[in-house]
Chain A
Amino acid sequence: MTQSNLSIDPITLEVMRHALTSVAEEMNANLIRSAYSPNIKERRDCSSALFDASGQMIAQAESIPVHLGAMPYSVAAAVAAVVDLAPGDVVILNDPYAGGAHLPDVTFVAPVFAEGGGVIVAFVANRAHHADVGGKEPGSLAGDAREIYQEGLRIPPVRLWKRGTLDRDLLDLILLNVRTPDERLGDLQAQRAACAVGIDRVTELLRRHGRTGLSEAMSAIADYSERRMRDAIRRLPDGAARYEDVLDGDGTSEEAIPLRVAIRIAGDEVTVDFEGSSPQVRGPINAVEAVTVSATYYAMRALTDPEIPPNAGCYRPIRVVAPAGTVVNCCPPAPVVGGNLETSQRIVDVILGAFAALVPERAIAACQGTMNNLAIGGTDPRTGRAYSLYETMGGGYGARPDRDGIDGIHSHMTNTLNTPIEALEIAYPLRVERYELRPGTGGGGRFRGGLGIRRDIRCIDHEARASFLTDRRTSRPYGVAGGEPGERGENVLIRNGMEIGLPAKGTTFVLPGDTISIRSPGGGGYGNPAERSSEARGQDVREGRV
């Protein structure tokens, strides 16, 4: 390519890329380091980003893809709602209908002013999943919510810090409406500290490079990512494809909910159109547009070049069409908590399903397609105190054109860690009785889908409530190129040795001695099962995987 169209030279470009990426990474590292709750600190359910003065994202650090590309909505909402931003202001928000994704994801946005005030030169933002933001169920994961008001406290974009001073009244209001105010306060302070780190870093860069230098560098980085993404898309063959898949129901009914996508690759641009997807539903699996966009960006990064720095430019060649009022772009007051968790996974499935026809060499069979969200809450008989456990669970990874799917692992939009069994049993009145792979659950194929996981948790000496937000309990993760679908998952209550099937989404009472058994789906297979090599078959048999 020629260099004449670059606003800054290739060397400065690379040096500034390191510098601007460091801003996002250092914010995120600081957030993880100073966070109070395990959800942010250990599971790293958070991300941080840098934006230019016009709200274009310039750099992002994330440890789970579900935050990818969703934060520009937060900055836009903050700027729209708070018109007279001043130095030292920090905006908080979690409303999915005004810059958020689902209520537990609380986002901070702070402006960075040029020295002497007056002009905004950049924004910094970070988002963290809080373990509870109120609502009808502990953990704010009400699988049976009917409207967003049941899902927890809704915070529109408002200033929690004004010119550097904490708004105590607002803070008190927030903390009164959540179950673990202590922990929340610790995490909110960590988010604010991370903003401060970002502001300091941008201010340093400003001193070093000047306003013009910094703003040129920021646009240059976005343009750079755009060029790389266009180049990567150009390498894909032009064409169009459609795909359709379903979610197992919204928790109010088990009627399948269709998601439809049409993909068009033309030159160096891609259109991802969800026209024809289900209207929004009563239960909490609606996705706001930011979530749909995140899932789309995830799929595009995975299909093109994951090394392209994620920023506004990277996404310019990607057009997302998500009709309002559908399950992929819902309107208030639809409940949304599972949109981020379950629907986002199926959005990825349909996009990758469509691409499998267009780019067969990069095709992948469906991964488990759910996060297997489980929350168990009750009173710990050992201490008399309330507890709430929230877990997600891995499952089968989809088979690829040259290799099997991975057994028992998180896929696509999440990558959070499990809770060690010994840590879980010390902290909660629960006992894990099995944690093992589910032989035979991977879809057959020349390459086999990954196996699901079984995790059995027994409730010791007390009654509890267990909430499920899971999927692929009826439908199955698809196979590709003749591969078979993965086995569906199951939620089971074991009482006195009897297995009782539970729905994919909902809440159940658990008696002392009952066991909750979550069995996650297997991944889809790739290619004709008859073509599977005899060595691979032999190994499957020897290792008890089939």
Chain B
Amino acid sequence: MSVVIGIDIGGTFIDVVATGDGGIRIAKFPSTPHAPAEGLFAGLGQLIALGRIKPCDVRRVVHGSTVATNALLEGTWARTALITTAGFRDVLEIGRQARRDLYNLSVERQPPIVSRDLRFEVSERVASNGDVLIPLDVEEIRALGPVLRESGVESIAVVLLFSFLVPEHEREVKRVLAEELDVPITLSSDVLAEFREYERASTTVVCAALRPVIEGYLGQVEQKAKAIALPHDWQIMQSNGAVTGAGNAASEPARIVLSGPAAGVEGARLIGQLAGEPDLITLDMGGTSCDVALIRGGDISCVSSGEVAGCPIALQMADIHTIGAGGGSVAWIDTGGAMRVGPQSAGADPGPACYGRGGRAATVTDAHVALGHLLANRPIGGLPELGCTEARKAISRLAERLALSIEQAALGILEVADAAMERAIRVMTIERGHDPRGFALLAFGGAGPLHAASIARRMSIPRVLVPAAAGVLSALGLLAAEAGRDGSRSIVRPLGDVDLAAVGGIIDELIQRGREALLEEGVPEKAIAAAVSADLRYVGQSHELAVPVPEARGGRVDASTVEALEAGFHQAHRSRFGHARPEHAVEWVTVRVRVSGPAEILDLRQGWTGTLEAVETVPVWFDSHGPLETAVFERERVPADALFRGPALFVGNDATLLVPPGVSGRCDAQGAVALEVR
């Protein structure tokens, strides 16, 4: 009972990683996006049949799933009703009254998940101080029962004004409606007890609309897991990089909408931790897009709200910036005469010209092939041999228009792609007040390791890290993640006026809720830890900064806590924004609690041995002066502590690492390659 399995389902592949009995083992099989559980269990069945997984040895299964994300993207959610305070049923639709695109006259607003005819109002009102101005009318709610039944509603969201102060009205609505019809009822005061009604409503509605979908999927998973004697109480990766129990994921699915990408960032965090790099810029470059995220001080950089598939979700999630630059991005000349790369992508079909499936457009991948970065006889990801002739032909059309050689044009394509990625990294670092030179660049995805060194050089990032298992980083992240449950409650009071006993009570309650959830997931009581923080701001501001609450573990909040919070806030404000106003009153907006259980200790040692020997040398173009004879190494036979110097190519199953001249590197015991870029 020592094996832990991580299962990440992506658009094309299902990655399975197992650990716990010495080293890690990896398996990959095709996913079945329209019936995800089927492909998953077909694959698992095979692994069991082959003896690669012994169900009786498996202690824990952790799952990263795009089911919630896909349901949001495709609109395959449950028919959902929304109940609001009278006068406010359109809050969900009006949102923040801003349009997505300033200059596009054809701009559209994504229709809200709940259409106007399924948004119902009830007379009730709570004031901003918690006074009940208009009591709830039970008969009015009861009368909604038949209406809701007749409209075929499958799920109900309840979002009343100031329910974060007075949750009783929402609870009463649920009590009455539960007697009337048998569908899940989701309360905003349970999902997100925070102020700002639109974001709370949107988050609650996402939960309500996805509940039947996720409950169905996870129910299926549970049954099928039982049938093959695997543990059936799987854990699910949340958008914040921590895992939670299936029950919690099913009742609050808005917490798992970034499950897949968060697992990748968590995997990157693990690799950085093992390599002693607590500050990382992660660059995940695939076929069509490139994701950039940050790890700071060993923690994933999160935002407290974000948008997924156009729906605002005000829950902690990994801060990920995506741009349309990938291996399949197409190079073209625009009407102003500039060479552009993307956002159009050749996709997987026909794909880049070098795939030989009829693609004619010159892509980033074709440029790499033409320059010798990708070797035709060593295709990645199970593709047939790459067509060097096709790649050169596609680029030559562009080169002719530019009066350049094929190699010059190919180098130009890469330079433009690098410039776009540099800008994405600048958005995540410089625009957020961080100096990229203080980070290491961790590159993964099929195309990331080809661009890492040149991007690092452009931006004076001193080190590049490329993990061994770049292709299954997300599945690794599942194994590495701690169990965690976030809870919050808005109070919005000047720090001096806060009722300390009441806040202590809120903290106790939030910790207790998290603790119960983790106990249920099997985390040992002693291992459970809680971190409390306060979202603070100056009175009059409308943005908050999170400041840790010292020694709040026992829920003890006193005058010294307030003093420490105030000092901590001025300091945080100064370091984040460059100035502070110690004479100005501070407001305590929200109490936050993260209850967590420890992560698995992972051993990634690959046990690769031998000396670093080139399998061949090939001519590779790094600049327009001509090709250099470049050593080719097999990525998977790299011994620990081997040192090398560019130019070099490390060819692996899922990615190729390009080491330009002047760059030196070494391999570590975990199989990661670290480059020193100057």
Contacts and interface: CB of A to CB of B under 8 A. Distances in A.
A30 B333 CA distance: 32
Contacts of B427: 25, 29
Interface in A420-465: 420-423, 425-427, 431, 433-437, 453, 456
A354 to B, nearest CB: 15
Interface string A231-262: 11000000000000000000000000000000
B542 A41 contact: yes
A448 to B, nearest CB: 14
A224 B340 CA distance: 13
5 contacts: A11-B415, A42-B543, A420-B196, A423-B196, A437-B94
A415 B416 contact: no
B196 A406 contact: no
B122 interface: no
Given A183-B540, A406-B107, A420-B195, A425 B88 contact: no
Given A17-B338, A22-B426, A434-B87, A422 B197 contact: yes
A332 to B, nearest CB: 31
B128 interface: yes
Given A225-B336, A434-B87, A435-B88, A407 B197 contact: no
A193 B96 CA distance: 29
A15 B423 CA distance: 10
Nearest to A460: B127
A526 B542 CA distance: 39
Q: Which one of B162, B335, B422, B432 has the greatest number of beta carbons of chain A within 10 Å?
A: B335
A420 B419 contact: no
Interface in B51-109: 87-91, 93-94, 96-99, 101-109
A63 B431 CA distance: 15
Contacts of B199: 420
A416 B117 contact: no
Contacts of A13: 337-339
Contacts of A189: 578-579
Interface string A19-46: 1011001100110011011100110000
B412 interface: yes
Contact of A14 (B107, B339, B431, B540): B339
Contacts of B104: 302, 306
Interface stretch (A86-94, A499-507, A538-546): A538-546
Q: Which one of B117, B338, B426 has the greatest number of beta carbons of chain A within 10 Å?
A: B338
B336 A231 contact: yes
Contacts of A63: 102
A231 B419 contact: no
B94 A19 contact: no
B433 interface: yes
A393 B103 CA distance: 19
Contacts of A431: 127-128
Given A25-B427, A426-B492, A434-B88, 11 more contacts: A1-B337, A10-B402, A11-B339, A11-B416, A18-B420, A29-B427, A224-B336, A407-B109, A421-B91, A425-B128, A431-B128
Nearest to B412: A11
B505 to A, nearest CB: 21
B497 to A, nearest CB: 10
A60 B406 CA distance: 34
Nearest to A298: B103
A415 B95 CA distance: 13
B401 interface: yes
Contacts of B108: 403, 406
Contacts of B101: 306
Given A10-B333, A406-B109, A435-B91, A65 B196 contact: no
Contact of A394 (B97, B338, B401, B542): B97
B143 interface: no
Contact of B98 (A65, A190, A409): A409
A14 B419 contact: yes
B426 A228 contact: no
Contacts of A403: 106, 108
A422 B162 contact: yes
Given A3-B401, A15-B415, A422-B128, A25 B431 contact: yes
Contacts of B116: 437, 543-545
B117 A543 contact: yes
- Interface residues on chain A, size class: 35 or more
Nearest to A427: B540
Contact of B337 (A10, A182, A422, A434): A10
Given A6-B337, A13-B338, A400 B105 contact: yes
B198 interface: yes
A174 interface: no
A30 B431 contact: yes
A526 to B, nearest CB: 12
A221 to B, nearest CB: 9
Nearest to B335: A231
Interface string B381-403: 00000000000000000000111
B338 A10 contact: yes
Contacts of A22: 423, 426
Q: Which one of B401, B426, B538 has the greatest number of beta carbons of chain A within 10 Å?
A: B426
Nearest to A422: B195
Contacts of B335: 1, 227-228, 231-232
B584 interface: yes
B102 A418 contact: no
A186 interface: yes
A263 interface: no
A544 B98 CA distance: 23
A357 interface: no
A433 B196 contact: no
A-B pairs with lowest CB-CB distance, top 9: A306-B103, A29-B431, A11-B412, A394-B97, A434-B87, A543-B116, A228-B336, A425-B128, A38-B542
Contacts of B577: 33-34, 190
A410 B94 contact: no
Contact of A407 (B89, B93, B127, B579): B93
A532 interface: no
Interface in A276-329: 298, 301-303, 306, 308
Nearest to A189: B579
Contacts of B161: 421-422
A403 B108 CA distance: 9
Nearest to A225: B336
B581 interface: yes
A377 B415 CA distance: 55
Given A14-B340, A15-B416, A425-B128, A302 B492 contact: no
Contact of A34 (B102, B127, B420, B578): B578
Contacts of B423: 18, 21-22
Given A64-B102, A228-B334, A408-B90, A425 B117 contact: no
Given A298-B103, A362-B105, A436 B89 contact: yes
A493 interface: no
